[in-house]
A and B are shown apart, each in its own frame.
Chain A
């Protein structure tokens, strides 16, 4: 493991003795950052677990009790026996999975298209990354009112004048698909950028050698490009999973989790439990599920990063 071997800094080789002494003190320069991060991220994290043991409700000040395993059991059994929970969990996974698949397909396509020198390439690239930069709630507003609105939106024109059918409000007809579409639109550039970086790091000699061997474009893609891209694909998709599991703004603006709970995902449910029902205990129990899901993807991601460092390609 890379971390078990002390990596000598570039400088210790040139002046070991004085550097060692300076280093004894200066390595602690990272302490403030670490302490701050523990306070801002790890303390709340631990408190979430603690709260999930309680039946604390902000509306009932007497109910701040720590109930130990009983409290946790109560929170979790109530969540698990509620059929809504399974719908919400499914919504979260379905939304994330669909966005990942869609953005991978289109992201790969755009990356391949951009990986050729052609006039206007810089402009195309700039245009293609833009959706990712748009504030998610603003993107949601634009899609909801300017594009998908059944009477004033551009989609009304597409339905009536281009397709010649009655205008349909997609958000009402297919709420989850609308959310998936909007979120995918924003995340395609993310995947594209990472895969493009991967494509551009593919050594030219390898490409030329394969061409000399008479490999066609398809065989080249399957046998050379894809294996080289593997790490980039893993990194892009795992990071995307982590962040799309937390999608909130688009749902908040476009559907408010509805109709019913058709587009409620875990973050939106936690928001409702905490800030509409003020049920701290149950919101925290839901929070545990959000953390578990993100951690699965995170552990896989860190493994990819570690493996990559071991291979010494960095």
Chain B
């Protein structure tokens, strides 16, 4: 489109420069996590220094962070599994046995994903109190499964619709029942799609804060709640240690997001853009 090579190269450089600026806060955080505390507050800020892993040892591996990360991992895996367990059969029905109501159901599911958390937090809190779910892993697993279920249904429905139905018919002619049809034909083909869906669910669950901070106090609190405690007087950490903890909290999702880049748009737009 742009003919002049000089202009083209300028644009390329500008693009890379702007991209660097956008990711800079993240890079700065990672860099600070390898500084000593004195280096972290040095003026002017230092770009070159002898890196230390002291902060990582102290605030990530010896601190309470791993415990919170364990909570996050448990809640993330649990809620994703529950959402997949409920969502994949629903996607199967939506993809292969559409009725007049399928479209309506799908739109309704989308709409539940768009409910403002603040609009349902009070009853959830009261219900959790009555069912002894406050500050439990199970409680957050249920809420996050509800959050990710629409995502699973619309993503997996899309993946299933892309499969040739002839494969399923062939399995049926061989006398496969629903379970066999699912495990021997669908599951192997859906593997990559399910992996991408799980990664997206991981991104949303891992970063969630509103439900987490209001429905847990300490025992089941995920990483996001722990990170938020740095807000007052840096928690009990200083800049460099805080950066190490924040980096550890952010890294898994960054990697998941980079891996699942291709599916990010479908997942984010509820399948409205593929």
Which residues of A come within 8 Å of B, CB atoms? 2-11, 14-15, 22-23, 26-30, 32-34, 36-37, 40-45, 47-48, 51, 110, 113-114, 116, 118-121, 123-147, 151-152, 154, 156-157, 161, 185, 188-190, 193-194, 197-198, 207, 211, 217, 220, 232, 235-236, 239, 242, 245-246, 248-249, 252-254, 256, 266-267, 270-271, 274-275, 280, 283-284, 286-288, 290-291, 293-294, 297-298, 301-302, 304-306, 308-309, 314
Task: Tell me, in angstroms, the Cα distance from A118 to B7 when the chains sit together.
Answer: 13
Interface on chain A toward B: helix, strand, loop, or mixed SS?
Answer: helix
Task: Tell me, in angstroms, the Cα distance from A116 to B14 when the chains sit together.
Answer: 13
Query: Does B90 lie within 8 Å of A48, measured CB to CB?
Result: no
Which of B49-57, B59-67, B140-148, B187-195 contacts the other chain?
Answer: B140-148
What's the A-B contact tally at a CB cutoff of 8 Å?
A: 345
Query: Does A118 lie within 8 Å of B116, measured CB to CB?
Result: no
Interface on chain B toward A: helix, strand, loop, or mixed SS?
Answer: helix
Q: Which residues of B contact A291 (CB under 8 A)?
A: 115-116, 119
B266 closest partner in A (C-beta): A197
Query: Does A302 lie within 8 Å of B210, measured CB to CB?
Result: no
Query: Does B165 lie within 8 Å of A128, measured CB to CB?
Result: no
A246 closest partner in B (C-beta): B116
Which residues of B come within 8 Å of A, CB atoms? 1-2, 8, 11-12, 14-16, 18-20, 22-23, 25-26, 28-29, 32, 40-41, 43-45, 86-87, 89-90, 92-105, 107, 109-112, 114-127, 142-143, 145-146, 149-150, 153, 165, 168-169, 178, 203, 206-207, 209-210, 213-214, 223-224, 227-228, 230-231, 234, 239, 242-243, 246, 249-250, 253-254, 256-258, 261, 264-265, 268-270, 272-274
Query: Does B114 lie within 8 Å of A298, measured CB to CB?
Result: yes
Query: Does A252 lie within 8 Å of B272, measured CB to CB?
Result: no
Query: Does B8 lie within 8 Å of A194, measured CB to CB?
Result: no
Query: Does A270 lie within 8 Å of B231, measured CB to CB?
Result: no
Query: Does A130 lie within 8 Å of B149, measured CB to CB?
Result: no
Q: Which residues of A contact B273 (CB under 8 A)?
A: 194, 197-198, 232, 235
Query: Does A145 lie within 8 Å of B234, measured CB to CB?
Result: yes
Query: Does A135 lie within 8 Å of B249, measured CB to CB?
Result: yes
Assuming the contacts A3-B104, A130-B26, A248-B210, asked whether A141 and B43 have C-beta atoms less than 8 A apart, the reply is no
